[in-house]
Amino acid sequence: MEGKQGKLYWGKLTKLMRKDGVVAVLFLAPSLIGFAIFYLIPFAMGFLYSFQDSTVDGSFVGLDNYKALHASSSFRKAAANTFLFTGVSVPLIIALSLLFAHLLSQKLFIRNWLQTAFVMPLVVPVASIVMMWQILFDWNGTLNVWLQSLHIERIDWMKSNWATGVLVIVYIWKNIGYNIILFLAGLQSIPRDYYETADIEGASKFHKWIHITLVYLTPTMFFVTLMSIINSFKVFRETYLIAGDYPHDSIYMLQHYMNNMFLSLDIQKLTAAATLMVGCILILVSLLLAVERRFRNFMD
């Protein structure tokens, strides 16, 4: 009897799980269909176009489009600028967001004001943000007026090598609030017992920061790094609105190159460049996830 009741119970449970699975698929279907139509299928078609000589009745040309990209000085410059920007801005935003999150976790009398200030850029439209930065860094902008009042020569910020620094500042200002929120959640999840035990044993603040805070923030740091890398490749919006189609050479990004290829209807180079960029992002993300997995296994 008990065996029959067990089988009956598991049968009912299996039917319920199948029913719940069907319901879950039905709820997810609109999102999955939209993702397939607007992202997955176009990318698959672009990947195929990158190996053809034309989008209409094209023939297979192998890696010729990728060889043409490698020979293009514009593409090499765009790729170098993009990875340089990511390599500089991502470590900087992680360090600053971790520092500000640690400060906001303390009992500061202006903590609420600071939290609002950091989160505000997340809800402000990009066009408004860009207009403000244009007013600030324009040739006749606020910053140059201040420099002139101090008897310092004006700087054409967006038409010189300073453009990279301006773009890094804009990127950090726009995205640091999201990272701070994640780090604050990670800090609040650390058990206070560890700090109390460390205080009893006479551990210094630096020792507690290295051996308790950073260790337990490592999973959060992996996720923040992942999101920061992805957001660094999306900085084209701000760059395009601030500097236009053909910005200074130092901020000519991969997205500028692909946008210009689209305007010239060179779809083959566009899709090849997009495939390479996605491939590089996937490699970075895979390496990051592999390191995070090893760290988790080590901690377990």
Please tell me the distance from the alpha carbon of residue 189 to that of residue 183, in angstroms, as a whole number.
10
Place 94 in a pLDDT band, splitting at 50, 70 and 90: very high
**60 phi and psi, to 5 degrees?**
-70, 130
Which pair of structure tokens corresponds to residue 117? Answer: 């200030």
Report how far apart, in Å, the C-alpha atoms of 64 and of each of 77, 261, 300 are.
Answer: 20, 16, 48
Whether the per-residue pLDDT at 246 is higher than 80: the answer is no
Give the model's confidence band at 96: pLDDT under 50 very low, under 70 low, under 90 confident, else very high: very high
Q: What is the mean pLDDT of residues 10-28?
A: 63
Residue-wise pLDDT for 252-265, tens only, equals: 888 888 888 888 88
Q: How confident is the model at residue 15 (pLDDT cuts 50, 70, 90)?
A: low
The two tokens of residue 273 are 């460049």
Q: Do 104 and 114 contact (CB within 8 A), yes or no?
A: yes
DSSP string of 141-185? SHHHHHHHHTT-----GGGSTHHHHHHHHHHHHHHHHHHHHHHHH
Question: Which pLDDT band holds residue 106 (cuts at 50, 70, 90)?
Answer: confident
Residue 20 pLDDT more than 70?
no
In b/e form, how buried is each residue of 265-297, taking b as 16+ CB within 10 angstroms? ebbbbbbbbbbbbeebeeebeeeeeeebeeeee
The pLDDT-based confidence of 11 (bands split at 50, 70, 90) is: low
pLDDT at 86 over 60: yes
The pLDDT value given to residue 52? 84
CATH code 3.90.1300.10 for 62-299: no
pTM of this structure: 0.79
Arithmetic mean of pLDDT, 189-203: 82
Gap between the Cα atoms of 166 and 278, Å rounded: 26
Q: CA–CA distance from 33 to each of 12, 23, 46, 145 (Å)? A: 31, 16, 18, 52
Q: Which is more confident, 277 or 26?
A: 277
291 confidence band (pLDDT: 50, 70, 90) = confident
Residue 7 has pLDDT above 60, yes or no: no
Mean pLDDT within 49-65: 81
pLDDT at res. 92: 94
The encoded tokens of residue 192 equal 């206070």
Question: Confidence band (pLDDT; 50, 70, 90) for 175?
Answer: confident
pLDDT at 232 over 80: yes
The pLDDT of residue 2 is: 47
* Mean pLDDT rounded to a whole number for the chain: 81
Flag whether pLDDT at 13 surpasses 80: no
Q: Where are the domains of the chain?
A: 1-49, 62-299
pLDDT above 90 covers a percentage of the chain that reads 4
| pLDDT (mean) for 179-202 | 84
